[in-house]
């Protein structure tokens, strides 16, 4: 495990950790939610399983990691880690599950965000991270397995939510998900886009087209819930409420 340059490790417990395969995954999928959560006072972290290298237009991993650190600074997240798993050769195995479960035991998040489905015609690493994340959430809480966790105590994550990342499909379904949630990112939409623009080696040659696509998707999702912009998540748990009126009649949309 390595701390990314430019992001000071904060060993306090975090409220929320988002997991991606490569630097820029979580910015695209849920960067607005992360920025918004920071503004709301929550402890927020990002875990990238790989450094994303090699990649066609990047000079090397140092540049890509510097871009990731800048994106994290823009979002305001407290922790960003890379687990140094192999890009393009990432597979769901015990070592990868254990490495991520150790992060969960270290930072003790209440909520984990991760991939919710395969991404055909995009990196197969995404599906592998989906499986690794699901397993690591389970492994984080296991007792009687101390020999694998370097003395880190078990930690039970309250909820795991999935995000879609496909920008070229209208099918946002996530298998086995029970409910959809839209997070209002109107106040943090520009922050999300600025964090994505930090990846100059990934988007400079086609930045405006991709940025417009990401912004349009966020506005479309948000409008469906009555917000200026939003990000979509799926819950594997059935949603419930103790106050039906409050749930049915939330505060007026901004």
Assess contact for 112 and 157: CB atoms under 8 A.
yes
Q: How confident is the model at residue 29 (pLDDT cuts 50, 70, 90)?
A: very high
User: Considering the entire predicted model, what is its pTM?
Assistant: 0.91
Going by DSSP bridges, is the β-strand pair 159-163/111-115 parallel, antiparallel, or unpaired?
A: parallel
Distance (Å, rounded) from C-alpha 233 to C-alpha 254? 20
Cis bond upstream, residue 54 (ω within 30): yes
Tokens of 70: 């800048």
Domains of the chain: 2-248 (3.40.50.10320)
Residues linked to residue 180 through DSSP beta bridges, in sequence order:
234
Average pLDDT, the chain: 90
Give the tens place of pLDDT for each residue, 117-173: 888 778 999 999 999 999 999 999 999 999 999 999 999 999 999 999 876 666 667
1 pLDDT higher than 70: no
* Rounded mean pLDDT, 13-23: 96
């Amino acid at each position: 495990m390595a701390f990314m340059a430019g992001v000071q490790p904060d060993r306090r417990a975090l409220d929320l950790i988002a997991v991606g395969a490569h630097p820029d995954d979580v910015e695209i999928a849920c960067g607005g939610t992360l920025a918004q959560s920071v503004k709301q006072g929550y402890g927020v972290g990002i875990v990238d399983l790989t450094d994303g290298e090699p990649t066609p237009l990047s000079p090397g991993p140092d540049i890509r990691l510097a871009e990731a650190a800048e994106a994290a600074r823009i979002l305001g997240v407290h922790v960003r880690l890379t687990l140094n798993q192999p890009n393009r050769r990432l597979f769901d195995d015990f070592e990868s599950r254990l490495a991520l479960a150790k992060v969960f035991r270290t930072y003790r998040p209440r909520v984990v965000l991760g991939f919710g489905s395969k991404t055909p015609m995009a990196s197969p690493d995404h599906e592998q991270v989906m499986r690794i994340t699901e397993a690591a959430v389970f492994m984080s809480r296991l007792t009687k397995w101390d020999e694998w966790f370097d003395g880190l105590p078990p930690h039970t994550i309250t909820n795991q939510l999935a995000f879609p990342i496909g920008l070229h499909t209208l099918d946002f379904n996530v298998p086995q998900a029970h409910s959809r949630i839209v997070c209002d990112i109107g106040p943090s939409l520009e922050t999300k886009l600025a964090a994505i623009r930090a990846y100059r080696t990934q988007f400079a040659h086609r930045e405006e087209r991709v940025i417009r696509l990401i912004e349009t998707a966020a506005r479309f999702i948000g409008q469906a819930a009555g917000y200026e912009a939003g990000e979509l998540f799926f819950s594997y748990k059935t949603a419930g409420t103790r106050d039906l009126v409050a749930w049915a009649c939330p505060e007026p949309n901004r």
